[in-house]
Structure 1
């Protein structure tokens, strides 16, 4: 068994505030992402590859926040702080699957925008439904494969007397700090795999957006430029927030943050991003807002 310390070192007022923050974020994430999944699934208007990948992103966000927040909420209470070895492995595995999936998915969404704006005549013939499904299956294979290797490497470490995890979930830095053997190989591996996944996908996204922006600026009509920018704006905001926080947290070696800093930074990609992404995509997308409003009216009508 391990013991998740969570935020037990903070004052009672701070713990109560964080508990409310975690709970509200979890509920809002499920409502927002759940509505996007339902809207894209049920509406014939939202059948394009862009919405196909957006639905997958919402599902990934639900997996990401559900892998950490429920146990974090329990850790605010003394009896809910214990987590079994298998529970810790499962939590870490699901977190890595979600995080890796999001990196790859944001890259696929950038490629979709590149094809739509830079190769409009080939878009419908290239980005077909079977192609989208094949790309999604490859995404999940890569994410699960990475999670299997990551989990095997991390939990091959010997854990000795200490069972106190100075975090709200089983993440790499606190687990390495509990190990009682030589952790150099594991630290090097985790750094290399983070660089490979984060940097490779971010470079592909940057290359896509260089081509996208070049094509947009060549458009003669201001209305066409505005429409092109609007289709990319939401995705670009998500990319900046997710990759910015991921690079800041994971692309460091032999320069650890304090446990408090690790926990605060983890909030950005574990809690905040899955909560605000539905707002980013729905508030800036007229089609999505219209479909969600109709879905809401339909649910109210069924209820009454």
Structure 2
């Protein structure tokens, strides 16, 4: 259903958007909904478990697990800003979302996405200090400095989202209200505007470069230094263990940043709805599930903490 509100005599503005969803085939919608529900349940379960374990175990009150807890909160919110609405639209058959609802979804999606980019860079810096400067680690990564870094990530992410959301929804959307996507994201929303979107795109590109690209480069620099430090480790087993852990972290980081940059740094002419849905699914649904598995569940400290918690509660 199309709902428009008059702006002037020859221009109208959309008041309700229609999210076209993941597929138009009913059977595929059911399959996708089941997969989304399973993935979302795993994401919530693992991240909440991590938060409980870190909170309840005093030995895990370290900078690394403090940042991992922040990452879990972000992943829960990041996935929750998209998946429940997809499931609701698919199951009810009503794919509409209000103008305010779309703006709210875009705001929190951008805010949490930017915050995660910055936090991943902070986490890589934390690992760099721990591996390359172990004797100075406790001095540099003290509680006050860690809190400043975490708060800085959250404030910058949510502040940046205010700017991006404003320059997206200040436009008039009079061409159509059908969003070629399964949630409200900046590139497909801008495609609906009947105004010149050049300035909004410039603001988006500047934001991506300052936050996403700079964070990504900092992470790569940190891991280069970490790799060089690993090569100086004399024990082969310890060298392989450290390298394996860093490699898995870097693989997830590359997947996350690669899909985000692909989605937001392309020229408008290369916009492809079907391709973009797959790419967006990776960093909004898959990555929030992988993060706690790669960063935490594989960690022996977390494993021992979970085992101890189960033993205490069961026996």
Normalised TM-score (structure 2)? 0.90
Matched, 1:259 2:273: yes
Asked if the contact 1:191/1:253 (under 8 Å) is kept, the reply is no
Residue 88 of structure 1, aligned match among 64, 88, 102? 102
Give the aligned partner of residue 74 of structure 1.
88
Matched, 1:205 2:219: yes
Give the aligned partner of residue 186 of structure 1.
200
Gaps of 5+ in 2: 1-15
Counterparts of 2:123 and 2:243, CA distance in 1: 14
Give the stretch that moved more between structures: 223-232 or 189-198.
223-232
How far apart are 1:188 and its partner, in Å? 2.5
Gaps of 5+ in 1: none
How far apart are 1:187 and its partner, in Å? 1.9
Normalised TM-score (structure 1)? 0.93
Give the aligned partner of residue 4 of structure 1.
19
Residue deviations 1:211-238 (CA, integer Å, cap 9, x gap): 1111111122223423433553443232
Residue 122 of structure 2, aligned match among 108, 118, 121? 108
Residue 60 of structure 2, aligned match among 33, 46, 66? 46
Asked if the contact 2:175/2:193 (under 8 Å) is kept, the reply is no
Asked if the contact 1:39/1:291 (under 8 Å) is kept, the reply is yes
* Structure-2 change in CA distance of 1:68 and 1:178 (3 Å): same
Give the aligned partner of residue 131 of structure 2.
117
Residue deviations 1:203-261 (CA, integer Å, cap 9, x gap): 11111111111111112222342343355344323212211222222221233332111
Counterparts of 2:276 and 2:313, CA distance in 1: 41
Asked if the contact 1:5/1:75 (under 8 Å) is kept, the reply is no
Residue 250 of structure 1, aligned match among 264, 281, 285? 264
SS of equivalent residue, structure 1 residue 110: helix
Give the aligned partner of residue 137 of structure 1.
151
How far apart are 1:290 and its partner, in Å? 1.7
Counterparts of 1:283 and 1:160, CA distance in 2: 48
Asked if the contact 2:118/2:212 (under 8 Å) is kept, the reply is no
Give structure 1 regions of 4+ aligned residues with deviation exceeding 3 angstroms. Answer: 77-80, 296-301
Matched, 1:240 2:254: yes
Counterparts of 1:127 and 1:60, CA distance in 2: 21
Give the aligned partner of residue 173 of structure 2.
159
